[in-house]
Chains A and B, each alone.
Chain A
Amino acid sequence: MQRYLTDRKRAVGLGSGRAGTEHHWKMMVSSMAIVVAAPVFFILFALGYQLPYAEATAYFGHPAVAITLAVTMVIIIRHVMNEAIEAAEDYVHGTAGQLTIVGITWASYLLMIVGLFALARMAI
């Protein structure tokens, strides 16, 4: 029997207009970003974290160190925030799920702000 739905009609809404895959694609982009950002953050942090107070604040307050750590920290925390949101979307449902996502987002941005504040305070 002849099919009345055209091929196009059957395909509309199922393909990738990149809207339904937006979150996934953003995870891919931030996945590639952390491949660079995380080692840079880790090495810079490790180099300063055993220094005594005065030297540590001087080191972390150095403009190049502070700015590089600030950028990479935001990339990393944003990535793991989305990772946690993705997990919440999959495993926590309904109102509890929505509140969990709000909580994760709130806590993650708070973390970024406190981290940026600390780096700026040592740098200025």
Chain B
Amino acid sequence: MADVNRGNRPLSPFMIGPYYKPQLTSISSIMVRITGIVVLGLSVVIVAWLFTASISEAAFNAFNRIVQSWFGDLVLLAGVWCLTYHILGRLRHVLWDFGYCWEVRVAESLAIGMLVAATVVAALTFILFLAM
């Protein structure tokens, strides 16, 4: 392997901080991963809710009281925000994979767009389903 490129490679985002300047693109990509894991946590709550509903009215009422409290609303809203952000972020990765949206300006607007869209969806969820 005489002419394999060694040493002259792009830096990994693992080095964020001292060696690698944080950018909208890399930070938003890391947030996609974090929000994905948050959604896994949220699915525990959703599945538990379905499970208690399938078991008995007493179990349902006990768990539902927690889920429908202000704290439960907060958790669900955070979950909705993360879910929306994650979907859009993953969609962005698909677009990148297929070779679109590579221009820095476009990629950065998508990063901001994801934040805005997730916030709008969370706000709409609050208005439509929780604020009543």
Q: Which residues of A contact B (CB under 8 A)?
A: 3, 5, 10, 27-28, 31-32, 34-35, 38-39, 42, 45-46, 49-50, 53-54, 56-57, 60, 73, 76-77, 79-81, 83-84, 86-87, 108, 111, 114-115, 117-119, 121-122
A31 and B49 contacting across the interface, CB-CB below 8 Å = no
| Chain B residues with CB below 8 A from A108, complex form | 40
B91 and A31 contacting across the interface, CB-CB below 8 Å = yes
Contact partner, A83, options B40, B61, B97, Cβ 8 Å: B40
Counting chain B CB atoms within 10 Å of each CB, which of A27, A57, A118 scores highest?
A: A118
**With an 8 A cutoff between CB atoms, is B39 at the interface?**
yes
Contact partner, B90, options A34, A50, A121, Cβ 8 Å: A34
Contact partner, A84, options B40, B51, B64, B68, Cβ 8 Å: B40
A28 and B94 contacting across the interface, CB-CB below 8 Å = yes
* Minimum Cβ distance to chain A for residue B115 (Å): 18
* Minimum Cβ distance to chain B for residue A46 (Å): 5
A111 and B44 contacting across the interface, CB-CB below 8 Å = yes
Knowing A45-B46, A46-B125, A118-B47 touch, does A86 contact B33 (C-beta < 8 A)?
yes
Q: How far is the CA of A60 from the CA of B61 in the complex (A)?
A: 16
Question: Which positions 5-50 of chain B face chain A at CB distance < 8 Å?
Answer: 33, 36-37, 39-40, 43-44, 46-47, 49-50
A119 and B54 contacting across the interface, CB-CB below 8 Å = yes
Closest to B56 in A: A53
A119 and B60 contacting across the interface, CB-CB below 8 Å = no
